[in-house]
């Protein structure tokens, strides 16, 4: 039996992040371009053999062009050297509708083990006969662990950008024929 391939439905998926600014408000951004490929042995995602995600950092959008340009610069992601965020899943375990996805997260050329929380929304057949599966994915990382160390301090001693970055994705996969 050959593996079942699943591809991202980009029109029904989003990848966002949130980071505290001046420790008093939260800035939200998202990636306009990203991809996810999944292979399973059956329609059950516990049989996942391949989970490969990538996000194009040059597609980052925080609603502010100057901030986006700064995030792409050497102060942060340094997209001239590495323009992709990569995640390679190693294990997916779900109990009921909740679970964990563990694997290797690569940002700025630095790879570290990382675990996301997963909520499985279910699998349905849409009005066009396509089988789709939905997931809510969340996690929190320390940006300094991935070489994103730029910061500034206000006159009062507050940091401008927090170390913690909250990640969230709403993912819809389409079963490939």
Residue 167 carries which DSSP code? E
Range in 35-39, 46-50, 60-64 with the lowest mean pLDDT:
46-50
**Torsion angle defined by CA atoms of residues 171, 21, 58 and 30, in that order, rounded to the nearest 10 degrees:** 20
Q: Give the 3-state DSSP-derived string for the chain, with helices as H, strands as E and coil as C.
A: CCCEEEEECHHHCEEEEEEEECCCEEEEEEECCEEEEEEECCCCHHHEEEEEEEEEHHHEECCCHHHHHHHHCCCCCCCCCCCEEEEEEEEEEEECCEEEEEEEEEECCEEEEEEEEEEEEEEEECCCCCEEEEEEEEEEEEHHHHCCCCCCECCCCCECEEEEEEEEEEEEEEECC
Residue of higher predicted confidence among 139 and 27: 139
Residue pLDDT, tens place only, 15-24: 999 988 777 7
C-alpha 150/C-alpha 165 separation (Å) is 14
Residue pLDDT, tens place only, 113-145: 999 999 999 999 999 999 999 999 999 998 889
Residue pLDDT, tens place only, 75-100: 888 999 999 999 999 998 888 889 99
Residue pLDDT, tens place only, 39-54: 999 888 888 889 999 9
Determine what percent of the chain is predicted with pLDDT higher than 70: 93
Determine what percent of the chain is predicted with pLDDT higher than 90: 66
Q: Which two tokens stand for residue 39?
A: 């292979």
CATH 2.40.128.110 fits 4-175, yes or no: yes
Give the global pTM. Answer: 0.89
Domain boundaries, given as residue ranges, for the chain: 4-175
Question: How many other CB atoms are there within 10 angstroms of residue 165's CB atom?
Answer: 19
């Amino acid at each position: 039996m050959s593996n079942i391939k699943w591809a991202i439905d980009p029109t029904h998926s989003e990848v966002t992040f949130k980071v505290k600014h001046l420790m008093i408000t939260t800035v939200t951004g998202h990636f306009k371009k990203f991809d996810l490929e999944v292979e399973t042995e059956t329609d059950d995602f516990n049989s996942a053999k391949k989970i490969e995600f990538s996000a194009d950092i040059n597609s980052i959008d925080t609603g502010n062009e100057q901030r986006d340009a700064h995030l792409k610069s050497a102060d942060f992601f340094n997209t001239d050297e590495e323009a992709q965020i990569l995640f390679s899943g190693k294990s997916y375990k779900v109990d009921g509708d909740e679970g964990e996805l563990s694997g290797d997260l690569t940002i700025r050329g630095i790879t570290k083990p990382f675990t996301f929380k997963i909520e499985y929304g279910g699998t349905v057949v849409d009005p066009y006969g396509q089988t789709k599966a939905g997931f809510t994915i969340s996690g929190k990382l320390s940006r300094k662990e991935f070489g994103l160390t730029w910061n500034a301090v206000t006159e009062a001693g507050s940091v401008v950008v927090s170390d913690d970055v909250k990640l969230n994705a709403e993912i819809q996969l389409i079963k490939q024929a």
